[in-house]
Copies of this chain bind each other. A is one copy, B any other.
Amino acid sequence: MLTGSLGMTFNEVRKDYLLDRWVVIATERGRRPTDFAKQERQQAKAAVCPMCAGNEHMTPPAVLVYFKSGQRIRRTKDEDGFRHKSWLIRVIPNLYPAFSPPKGRISRKQIMKNENLVAAVGHHEVLVESPNHDEGPANAPISQLVHVINGYMDRLRELSVKPYVQYVSIFRNHGLEAGASLSHAHSQIIATPFVPKTVKEEMDASKKLWRQNKKCVFCDILKRERDGPRFVLENSKFMVFTPYASVNPMEFWVFPINHESSLLEMSQSETKTFAETLKTCLCRLKTLVNDPPYNYGFHIALDREAHDYYHWHLEVYPRLAIWAGFEKSTGVYINTMTPETAAESMRKNFSS
Q: Which residues of A contact B (CB under 8 A)?
A: 2, 4-6, 8, 10-15, 20-22, 24, 26, 28-29, 96-100, 102-104, 106, 110, 113, 115-121, 169, 171-173, 177-180, 188, 190, 192, 194, 196-199, 201, 244-245, 295-299, 315, 317, 322-326, 328-332, 334
Residues of chain B with a CB closer than 8 A to A28's CB = 96-98
Of all chain B residues, which has the CB nearest A325? B171
Bound-state Cα–Cα, A98 to B24, Å: 7
Of all chain B residues, which has the CB nearest A97? B28
Bound-state Cα–Cα, A24 to B191, Å: 13
Contact B13 A117 (CB under 8 A): yes
Q: A197-B332, A198-B331, A326-B171 are in contact. Are A244 and B99 (CB under 8 A)?
A: no
Contact A197 B102 (CB under 8 A): no
Residues of chain B with a CB closer than 8 A to A100's CB = 10-11
Of all chain B residues, which has the CB nearest A329? B297
Distance (Å) between the CB of A97 and the closest chain B CB? 6
Q: What would 26 A/B residue contacts be, using CB atoms closer than 8 Å?
A: A2-B113, A2-B119, A8-B102, A8-B103, A11-B98, A11-B100, A11-B119, A12-B118, A13-B194, A14-B116, A15-B116, A24-B99, A24-B120, A26-B97, A98-B326, A116-B244, A171-B324, A171-B326, A172-B325, A173-B325, A177-B322, A295-B324, A297-B328, A297-B330, A315-B329, A317-B325
Residues of chain B with a CB closer than 8 A to A15's CB = 115-117
Bound-state Cα–Cα, A179 to B321, Å: 8
